[in-house]
Structure 1
Amino acid sequence: MIRSSLAPLAALAALAAAAASPASAQSACGPREQLAKLLSDRYKEDPVGMGLSQPGQVLEVFASSNGSWTMVMTMPDGKACMIAAGENWEMMTKLKGNPI
């Protein structure tokens, strides 16, 4: 089953619209906990990696066993935004002494 990358953005935008002004309702952002639940429930995506970005921001990659993935940026206040999504995610590991 191929997932449209726009479907989660639309779902999250609707979620954000419930408590946001019209300008911010157009973005795919909302509370991190709700976004993580949406990705888990609807797409079976769970966190597979994370790293620090700008001061206080956390970048996470959520992925499923069927290959769908979503990148999420979380701000210090807990607001999270989906920044990319796609298919065919593959986990890669770095072997000691062999740069990828």
Structure 2
Amino acid sequence: MKKTLLKLSAGLALVLTTQMAAAQSQNCAPRDMVVQRLAEKYGESRQSIGMGQQGMVMETFASDETGSWTITVTNPNGMTCLVASGQSYEILAEALPVMDTDA
């Protein structure tokens, strides 16, 4: 399970790094400005956070009222880039699938 989690984390970091490089010219700004804009314009607040490779921080912002959501990645230098956004955000608390022990 730890190996799978590490592979998923590495894959996510690669995707985020690639998307951040493409987005840097258009969708990046200092973190405090991004957070303020998401709150004021979309009513979004931080719902989750995760650490990536090389000190990057991934955050999900969402609005309980409208269901809008935004995923951001912040570099160690404080620049935050928008990675994805959408509608119909829901908080889930799903249990892990039952593992088959007949191996």
TM-score, normalization by structure 2: 0.67
Give, in whole Å, the separation in 2 of the partners of 1:76 and 1:26. Answer: 17
- Evaluate the alpha carbon distance shift between residue 25 and residue 82 of structure 1 in structure 2; reply closer, same or farther with a 3 A threshold: closer
Shift of 1:53: 1.1
Q: Which has the greater radius of gyration?
A: 2
- Partner of 2:82, secondary structure, is strand
Give yes or no for the alignment of 1:55 onto 2:54.
yes
User: In the alignment, residue 99 of structure 1 is paired with which amino acid?
Assistant: L
Match of 2:96 in 1: 99
Structure 1, unpaired ranges of 5+ = 1-23
Give, in whole Å, the separation in 1 of the partners of 2:77 and 2:93. Answer: 32
Give, in whole Å, the separation in 2 of the partners of 1:32 and 1:26. Answer: 15
Match of 2:72 in 1: 72
TM-score, normalization by structure 1: 0.69
The within-5 A match list for 1:1-100 is 26-65=25-64, 66-94=66-94, 98-99=95-96
The percentage of counterpart residues that share the same residue type is 34
Give, in whole Å, the separation in 1 of the partners of 2:45 and 2:89. Answer: 12
Q: Say how many residue pairs are matched.
A: 74
Match of 1:5 in 2: none
User: In the alignment, residue 76 of structure 1 is paired with which amino acid?
Assistant: P
Whether the 8 Å CA contact 2:24–2:81 is kept in 1: the answer is no
* CA RMSD across the alignment: 1.7
Give, in whole Å, the separation in 1 of the partners of 2:80 and 2:32. Answer: 9
Instruction: Select the structure that is richer in helix.
Output: 2
Moved over 3 A (4+): none
